Chains A and B, each alone.
Chain A
Amino acid sequence: MTSNPVLRLSGIAKRFGPLRANDGISFELKRGEVIALLGENGAGKTTLMNILFGHYVADEGTVEAFGKQLPPGDPRAALDAGIGMVHQHFTLADNMTVQENIALGTESLWRLKLDRTAARRRITQLSSDFGLAVDPAATVAALSVGERQRVEILKALYRDARILILDEPTAVLTPAETDALFRTLKLLVAKGLSIIFISHKLNEVMAVSDRVLVLRAGKLVGERDTKTTDRKELAALMVGQEVKPAEVRPVRLGAPLLTLERVSTAPHNGAGLDDVSLTLTAGEITGLAGVSGNGQAALAALIAGTRRPTGGRISIAGNDVSDWSPRAALSHGIARIPEDRHAVGTIGDMSVTENVIAERYGSPRFSRMGFLNWTAARRFAEKIIADYDVKCPSPEARIRLLSGGNMQKLILGRALDPDPAVILASQPTRGLDVGAVAYVHRMLLAARDRGAAVLLISEDLEEVLALSDRILVMSQGRLSTPSSRGERSIRELGELMAGHSGENSDHAA
């Protein structure tokens, strides 16, 4: 490929306080090329794309699109230059139709009548050209996650994007939907578009890209042609060291500790539970795989105590529980690691001390006659910081200032310190670096070896496969039959994830 680059980044640097999120990054993107931007969470991929798209202003460096320099900090200019971005979290108005969402912002404010027919024709044309099947008249709220992503891509194409940036596009997709997305990307490239594909999943990077750029700790540490590299080399570049998988000892099963019997719940961040029965047994890690939004959030909220069942029974160590709440869950010895450590797991503007006592601040250990015992609380915080190797300035520091990994270690410490019987770990390693991931895995395995019953809910299929003694797949609020370690292949699990009905299994129909 000898053509001029469509995009050139030169010496991009960006600091957030002491953190160097991007440090002297330069690269070029050619016409019709797919670049994969590979790196762990926190390596600086998203920051870089936000600079490129004008959401952040770089401290140093320039962005050139089609030979012209982009003014920093101006998303409008980036859009006008033909750069389109599909964010990890979709930016669609739920109560509007697909067509309205796509056309939003492209119509002149001064025109009295919208040219809906032309808009509709163009959307239909684009979706048939690139295999992005979606009904322009449907309301976004009624769409599946995969369909919403197609709308986001259509939105960018509708604005004549020549460069498409996809930020972790497969995180919310089933394996089959991912394949369909990749077919769409191939069609786009064939039409001369250029694509930047951000991911930390090696197999996808290998499958879809022409060239791989590896980011680590804000720096560009490697650039490889996809044809001449392999997963092992990329993994080593990404992490900077060899990663050893966690060692798994044989299972010593104990008594059933938590049993759900034909439980149903209201929808919560996706589907609700539909007649689900599940038993968590001492000494076993039960892994729950599934595409997000299929009821995992409802199950996690139910076990955590923040949602009550609408039907069915919960029993703990053989006893039915009637009054269900977070406090009841805690008092029954359930440790909870929530999916969202920023919004749910911690109270960001409160101190480390105030956060680690949060699940037990009212116990005699930390309080007397309505007054908090700050000395005991601080001692506890210091113990957790030492035992769980948390890096933080002091127990008085606001927890918001900690990195995700250290925050998660504090949550682990808070949850595991009372030696719980049941552990609910919901997406426990999402967004963590490799070191922290390994730490969390070790802690969960150690708890299981001590005889705790662990429920691991994760979108990361490899994590589920590595840790779980028993795997279940959740789809549309229902559980599959269990399979033991190694019994089902990734492919079989993927089919279960897509659901038996198969209605959202393929979007390039």
Chain B
Amino acid sequence: MRLEPKPAPSLGVLFLFPLAAVATTLVLTSILVLAAGASPLSVFYLVARGAAGSQFALLETLTRATPLIFTGLAIAVAFRAKLWNIGAEAQLYMGGVMTVVLGTGALPLPAPILIPILMIAAMLAGALMLLGPAVLKTRFGVDEVVTTLLLNFIVLLFVSMLLEGVLKDPMGLGWPQSQKIIAEAQLPRLIQGKRLHYGFVIAIVAAILVWVITKKTLLGYEMRAVGHNAEGARFVGIPVNRILMKTALLSGGLAALAGFSEVSGLKGNLTLDLSPGYGYTGIVVAMLAMLNPLGVVASAIFVAGIFVGADAMSRAAKVPSYIADVMVATSLLTMVVAILLTRFRIRWK
């Protein structure tokens, strides 16, 4: 078996590949569903109904998609420039930390002023988290996959320390959780009485802004050039290291917004289970979207739908909801293969 390069695929084919990847995922996961003693068709139907079959289901899916849009954008921006940021989880938590540090009464300001301040502070914290690995990479050639990945564990322990210490809620009955943020620091709900909040709107706006940056601005052009061919970019005078720094700041900032939005829009305080791995799932989201910022919105909703739908399905069909993790992981693998197939043809000898 060997790979041969092939010319660029048409736009239509590019749309087909994610769909084919999803279809393959469904076929592969049916095997596990069958092993669990259920019918794949009914299980997939239950997942789809649980994800989008009612207003409640749909709103829940969009709520779950919100942090994934932010982390997906963070990954898409970084991967586009070939900056392998695996640390969105850490950046997310730092965004959450900043939100509770400044949002629990330290800044007694009205909401229209306080919320932008919290967003900026969260983005700065996330950006700084990625700045270190970016400096190590550009200065000393340290692999950012290793540094960003390991920072996830360091930051989680750091947050744990804060929640057991200075940030611990005195009224929290001993649980490792922070105080609730004040009312002015909360993002309002989109629909009264439902969980979907304005974080979703901010996520959509962020996706559009990132799209504009990548397609229309000098920075976007520079980031793509650096990602495609750093040596060539350097030759034509693009300051490669500086662009990688800017990419790191943007990526870290976007991931931190996920933490801000979860605390400010949904949870109200910071706990150690703020994110069930949104930072890692963001990688799947970005890859499924083929790193397109607008595609990230669609793929985040798709991935969130699988998680939400699988919860509902497992209650009805007695298939463990872990099938959702398997589906998401499988879809990442099939998508990686699909992306490979857009560029290469496989020859069986």
Partner of A74, one of B233, B236, B349: B349
Q: Quick check: B236 and A326 within 8 Å, CB to CB?
A: yes
Chain A binding surface, main DSSP class: loop
**Docked pose: A325 CA to B2 CA in angstroms:** 41
Scoring A residues 376 to 397 as 1 if CB is less than 8 Å from chain B, else 0, what string do you get? 0000000000000000000001
**Docked pose: A347 CA to B227 CA in angstroms:** 10
Identify which of A288-296, A358-366, A444-452 touches chain B.
A358-366
> A271 near B: Cβ within 8 Å?
no
> A1 near B: Cβ within 8 Å?
no
Known: A326-B237, A343-B229, A343-B232. A72 touches B349 (CB 8 A): yes
**Docked pose: A348 CA to B225 CA in angstroms:** 10
Q: Which B residues touch A304, using CB under 8 A?
A: 235
Shortest Cβ gap from B213 to chain A (Å): 9
Q: Which A residues touch B237, using CB under 8 A?
A: 305, 325-327, 330, 359
Q: Which B residues touch A397, using CB under 8 A?
A: 8
Scoring A residues 217 to 243 as 1 if CB is less than 8 Å from chain B, else 0, what string do you get? 000000000000000000000000000
Q: Quick check: A371 and B228 within 8 Å, CB to CB?
A: no
Shortest Cβ gap from A242 to chain B (Å): 34
Scoring B residues 305 to 349 as 1 if CB is less than 8 Å from chain A, else 0, what string do you get? 000000000000000000000000000000000000000000101
Q: Which residue of A lies closest to B216 (CB)?
A: A371
**Docked pose: A72 CA to B347 CA in angstroms:** 12
Q: Which A residues touch B232, using CB under 8 A?
A: 343-347, 358
Partner of A372, one of B6, B218, B231, B347: B218
> A248 near B: Cβ within 8 Å?
no
**Docked pose: A306 CA to B240 CA in angstroms:** 12
Shortest Cβ gap from B50 to chain A (Å): 40
Known: A358-B225, A361-B218. A401 touches B8 (CB 8 A): yes
Q: Quick check: A17 and B7 within 8 Å, CB to CB?
A: yes
Shortest Cβ gap from A434 to chain B (Å): 26
Shortest Cβ gap from A364 to chain B (Å): 12
> B109 near A: Cβ within 8 Å?
no
Shortest Cβ gap from B102 to chain A (Å): 30
Interface centre among A16, A350, A398 (most CB of B within 10 A): A350
Scoring B residues 286 to 308 as 1 if CB is less than 8 Å from chain A, else 0, what string do you get? 00000000000000000000000
**Docked pose: A336 CA to B236 CA in angstroms:** 9
Interface centre among A16, A57, A358 (most CB of B within 10 A): A358
Partner of A344, one of B231, B347, B349: B231
> A73 near B: Cβ within 8 Å?
yes
> B194 near A: Cβ within 8 Å?
no
**Docked pose: A240 CA to B349 CA in angstroms:** 36
**Docked pose: A418 CA to B257 CA in angstroms:** 44
Known: A17-B6, A358-B225. A370 touches B234 (CB 8 A): no
Scoring A residues 259 to 280 as 1 if CB is less than 8 Å from chain B, else 0, what string do you get? 0000000000000000000000
Q: Quick check: A326 and B235 within 8 Å, CB to CB?
A: yes
**Docked pose: A498 CA to B10 CA in angstroms:** 52
**Docked pose: A8 CA to B62 CA in angstroms:** 66
**Docked pose: A359 CA to B236 CA in angstroms:** 5
Q: Quick check: B235 and A338 within 8 Å, CB to CB?
A: yes
Q: Quick check: B8 and A398 within 8 Å, CB to CB?
A: yes
Q: Quick check: A347 and B229 within 8 Å, CB to CB?
A: yes
**Docked pose: A358 CA to B228 CA in angstroms:** 13
Scoring B residues 258 to 286 as 1 if CB is less than 8 Å from chain A, else 0, what string do you get? 00000000000000000000000000000
**Docked pose: A128 CA to B2 CA in angstroms:** 39
Q: Quick check: B228 and A370 within 8 Å, CB to CB?
A: no
Q: Which A residues touch B219, using CB under 8 A?
A: 370
Scoring A residues 295 to 337 as 1 if CB is less than 8 Å from chain B, else 0, what string do you get? 0000000001110000000000000000001110010000010
> B153 near A: Cβ within 8 Å?
no
Shortest Cβ gap from B250 to chain A (Å): 14
Q: Which B residues touch A370, using CB under 8 A?
A: 217-219
> B224 near A: Cβ within 8 Å?
yes
Q: Which A residues touch B175, using CB under 8 A?
A: none
Q: Which B residues touch A358, using CB under 8 A?
A: 225, 232-233, 236, 238
Shortest Cβ gap from B282 to chain A (Å): 23
Shortest Cβ gap from B346 to chain A (Å): 12
Q: Quick check: A372 and B221 within 8 Å, CB to CB?
A: yes
Q: Which A residues touch B6, using CB under 8 A?
A: 17
Q: Which A residues touch B235, using CB under 8 A?
A: 304, 306, 326, 336, 338, 344-345
Q: Which A residues touch B231, using CB under 8 A?
A: 343-344
> A483 near B: Cβ within 8 Å?
no
**Docked pose: A349 CA to B218 CA in angstroms:** 17
Shortest Cβ gap from A59 to chain B (Å): 11
**Docked pose: A398 CA to B7 CA in angstroms:** 9
Q: Quick check: A401 and B349 within 8 Å, CB to CB?
A: no
**Docked pose: A350 CA to B224 CA in angstroms:** 8
Q: Quick check: A57 and B349 within 8 Å, CB to CB?
A: yes
Shortest Cβ gap from A257 to chain B (Å): 20
> A139 near B: Cβ within 8 Å?
no
Q: Which residue of B lies closest to A354 (CB)?
A: B221
Q: Which residue of B lies closest to A74 (CB)?
A: B349
Q: Quick check: B218 and A348 within 8 Å, CB to CB?
A: no
Q: Quick check: B228 and A350 within 8 Å, CB to CB?
A: yes
**Docked pose: A327 CA to B233 CA in angstroms:** 11
Q: Which B residues touch A348, using CB under 8 A?
A: 228-229
Q: Which B residues touch A74, using CB under 8 A?
A: 349
Shortest Cβ gap from A344 to chain B (Å): 5
Q: Which A residues touch B225, using CB under 8 A?
A: 347, 350, 354, 358
Shortest Cβ gap from A176 to chain B (Å): 34
Partner of A367, one of B2, B8, B218, B228: B218
Q: Which A residues touch B229, using CB under 8 A?
A: 343, 346-349
> Which residues of A, 72-112, contact B by the 8 Å Cβ criterion?
72-74
Q: Which A residues touch B347, using CB under 8 A?
A: 57, 73
**Docked pose: A135 CA to B237 CA in angstroms:** 43
Shortest Cβ gap from A325 to chain B (Å): 7
Q: Quick check: A371 and B233 within 8 Å, CB to CB?
A: no
Scoring B residues 1 to 35 as 1 if CB is less than 8 Å from chain A, else 0, what string do you get? 01010111000000000000000000000000000
Q: Quick check: A73 and B7 within 8 Å, CB to CB?
A: no
> Which residues of A, 452-509, contact B by the 8 Å Cβ criterion?
none
Scoring B residues 185 to 208 as 1 if CB is less than 8 Å from chain A, else 0, what string do you get? 000000000000000000000000
Shortest Cβ gap from B169 to chain A (Å): 44
Shortest Cβ gap from A343 to chain B (Å): 6
Shortest Cβ gap from A48 to chain B (Å): 17
Q: Which residue of B lies closest to A55 (CB)?
A: B2
Shortest Cβ gap from B262 to chain A (Å): 31
**Docked pose: A17 CA to B233 CA in angstroms:** 29
**Docked pose: A346 CA to B228 CA in angstroms:** 10
**Docked pose: A367 CA to B217 CA in angstroms:** 8
Q: Which residue of B lies closest to A304 (CB)?
A: B235
**Docked pose: A327 CA to B7 CA in angstroms:** 33
Q: Which residue of B lies closest to A401 (CB)?
A: B7
Shortest Cβ gap from A386 to chain B (Å): 22
Shortest Cβ gap from A349 to chain B (Å): 5
**Docked pose: A312 CA to B146 CA in angstroms:** 40
**Docked pose: A74 CA to B349 CA in angstroms:** 9
Q: Quick check: A306 and B234 within 8 Å, CB to CB?
A: yes
Interface residues of A (CB under 8 A from B): 16-17, 57, 72-74, 304-306, 325-327, 330, 336, 338, 343-350, 354, 358-359, 361-362, 367, 370-372, 374, 397-398, 401
6 residue pairs bridging A and B, Cβ less than 8 Å apart: A73-B347, A325-B237, A326-B235, A343-B231, A348-B229, A372-B217
Pairs A-B, 4 closest by C-beta atoms: A326-B237, A327-B237, A358-B236, A73-B349
Given contacts A57-B349, A348-B228, A359-B237, 8 further A-B contacts (CB under 8 A): A306-B234, A326-B236, A330-B237, A344-B231, A347-B228, A358-B232, A358-B233, A401-B8
